[in-house]
Amino acid sequence: MEQEQRYSERFVIEGGHTLTGEIRPAGNKNAALPILAAVLLSKERVVLHNIPQIRDVGTMLALLTDLGVEIEQLGPHSWALDACQARKTALDADLCREIRASILLAGPLLARFGRVELPPPGGDVIGRRRVDTHLLALRALGAVVEADHQHYNLIAPQGLRGKDIFLDEASVTATENAIMAAVTSPGRTVLQNAASEPHVQDLCGFLRELGAQIDGMGSNRLLIDGVEQLHGGEYTIGPDNIEVGSLIGLAAATGSELFIREAAPEHQRMTRIAFGRLGVTWEVHGQDIYVPAQQSLQVVDDFGGFISKIDDGSWPAFPADLVSIAVVLATQARGTILIHEKMYESRLFFVDKLISMGARIVLCDPHRAVVIGPTRLHGAEMESPDIRAGMALVIAALCAQGSSVIRNIRQIDRGYERLEERLHSLGARIRRENC
């Protein structure tokens, strides 16, 4: 009943007001989910800190509980987990439909128990999200894979063994699955064309804390020497680099002054370049980011007067999860810019909602949009299609003249912790209410 109630909630936002103050990003969602899955590799107690309070984490904890993991909440963002008594290897189909990250349980379950029954994962509908790279990597380590449209059955009749693997794409979650499967597999695994995003580095740091032997963190070539078993430990997850980028975009688009504390600015270097093409600037003070108020947003043309472009790619390129934020920012910048989303063929479809608010955007095809700004947006009623588009719509509504209603905010809750409370503390006029 509580879950159904949250499904019917919406944000009501009064736009046109600047924000001010300081905010701390939540723990990295995309690190917390694989790290929670990796707890299955240890038979000892593990304590995790800075876990974000978001729906996807709640679903992952429910999946682990269903598998037999004992879980204790120690504080608002701290959890103790003990997988010693875990025995089940078939994942709950209803829970798997809730999140894409359910597939991250394949690697650790296969490594520990030699089998896993995995229903198709859910998550955002932003285009086809293939799982082939996961299955090919696990098969290279020794898994036998049976797959159809209803489920994936993986078994390792001879156990897993280290191998030299070249991934067919630098998939983040496939890299994480391969890492988790390899750390307790005998021999050396060489994982090439691996993803190297901050959350992949966080997972490697956690596993090393538990005794794994991993070299090459932060690069696309990982060397993993399998150990017999992992021990328990304690680990603090880093800040969410996508939330930090979202907050920078929020401040710049609304002309607000924000201090983003403990923001790991080293992870925003490409975002600084991409947002800089829209005239956005900020200052770095140690581990804090300061975004000054009332920035003059102006598209910076390429040399020779050619139209500038923001495009995404695998780390360290501009993150795909910030493309939606960049589109909203572009509506507030003077000039014309091309946004090229290379990775997901449905992510840009949310721009019809911005167009209904008055934005001047030409959607050229599923991957490219031309944005002409600046545009004075006006309030509208709309629905959040996915996590990142939902946050982009919140930013657009805060920029807009008048009131906006955003429905289906359960999608936003999947990735942003208590968003309305934290923004309200900065002066945003935003409230959550039942539809």
Cis peptide before 120 (omega within 30 of 0): no
Q: How many residues does the chain have?
A: 435
Please give the Cα distance from 172 to 169 (Å, whole number): 9
CA 173 to chain centre: 11
- Note if 311 is an active site residue: no
Q: What single-letter DSSP state applies at residue 301?
A: P
Choose, from 82, 124, 202, 312, the residue flagged as catalytic: 124
Alpha helices in 42-160 (DSSP H): 55-67, 93-96, 106-113, 132-140
Q: In what order do the strands lie in the sheet with 9-14?
A: 381-383, 403-407, 9-14, 429-434
Beta-bridged to residue 372, according to DSSP, are 336, 360
In terms of Cα–Cα distance, which of 200, 149, 146 is closest to 171?
A: 200
233-236 and 221-225 beta bridge pairing: unpaired
Please give the Cα distance from 424 to 408 (Å, whole number): 20
Instruction: List the catalytic residues.
Output: 124
